[in-house]
Amino acid sequence: MLNRILAGVVLSCSALISTSAIATESLSVPNPSKAEVEEIFGDRFSSLDRAEELFLMAVGFDNLAADADTAPPIGIPYIVRGGGAGYWAMLYMQGERSTEVLVNNALILLFMQSPAGTEAQREAGAMKLLEQAAQQGYWPADVYIAQSSIARSIDKSLPQLPSLVANLKRAHAALMRCANVQFAPCQIDLGVWMMTGDVDGTESARLLLQRGLDIAARDTRYLHNKRVLKDIAGGLDLLLLPNSGITEEQRAEYEDYRLQVAGMRAAMGEEIASR
């Protein structure tokens, strides 16, 4: 099914492949215009779910952290200006399984407007590609795998057992991997999960949650995202419960942090429940 869907992408973009395929070798840092992005993806980025939004954030973080001369051409700009959707799909069809081919084709399946296949088939194909990319060590793939698996575990329209257990195991393993690379949303999610669940090692869970919250406080990129701010607020609420294990000095610092986060969320137009 995955090959059939990507073959449809190749066919729909066939007129563009011959000219756009050359672009990957000459563009080190593509900077496509909004119109160029919308030509392929429409307004898809205005309606992202949690897994998609955090995945795109992780891709961006990884690209910025990488050496510009050696980093693989991964991401929406490289699809738009570095080959086109049909080019990347064609590479996969030809047997190429490099990380950039796997991830860019997953992005195409998730976000390209009107590609072949149903939404469920495209999401399943993207998950398959990202699982392969995660096996190659590409940590942003784990962000999508974790968040998508969590969403599926609470989707009441899906069969619960044994798929519930499988999704939770997949989510936990993926969260562990992306938490290990200091991606704050994964650390916060995993810390909250471990602190609120029936899991041994409450102190280690608290320390993991604190690391995620502290990283988010130092890196303002996290603080511009509504979903991450909500996660931060939830993590702070948990840490500030009585007997959470933090010191009085830490409690005062986290109270100030919570007030700052509440102000940021209010500035973004979110309604904050009174405590």
Ordered by start, the domain boundaries in the chain are 1-181, 182-269
Q: Is the distance from CB of 167 to CB of 153 less than 8 angstroms?
A: yes
Residue 213 backbone class (left: φ over 0; alpha: ψ -120 to 50; beta: rest): alpha
- Whole-angstrom distance, CA of residue 74 vs CA of residue 179: 21
Going from the C-alpha of 60 to that of each of 54, 102, 140, 176, the distances in angstroms are 10, 16, 9, 20
Share of the chain above pLDDT 70, in %: 87
Q: Which tens digit of pLDDT belongs to each residue from 47-84?
A: 999 999 999 999 999 999 877 667 789 999 999 988 78
Angle at 52 between CA 7 and CA 63, to 5 degrees: 85
Q: Is the distance from CB of 214 to CB of 174 less than 8 angstroms?
A: no
pLDDT of residue 25: 46
- Whole-angstrom distance, CA of residue 223 vs CA of residue 184: 11
pTM: 0.90
Q: Which tens digit of pLDDT belongs to each residue from 159-211?
A: 666 677 888 899 999 999 999 999 999 999 999 999 987 555 589 999 999 99
- Whole-angstrom distance, CA of residue 250 vs CA of residue 54: 28
Q: Which tens digit of pLDDT belongs to each residue from 204-245?
A: 999 999 999 999 999 999 999 999 999 999 999 999 999 899
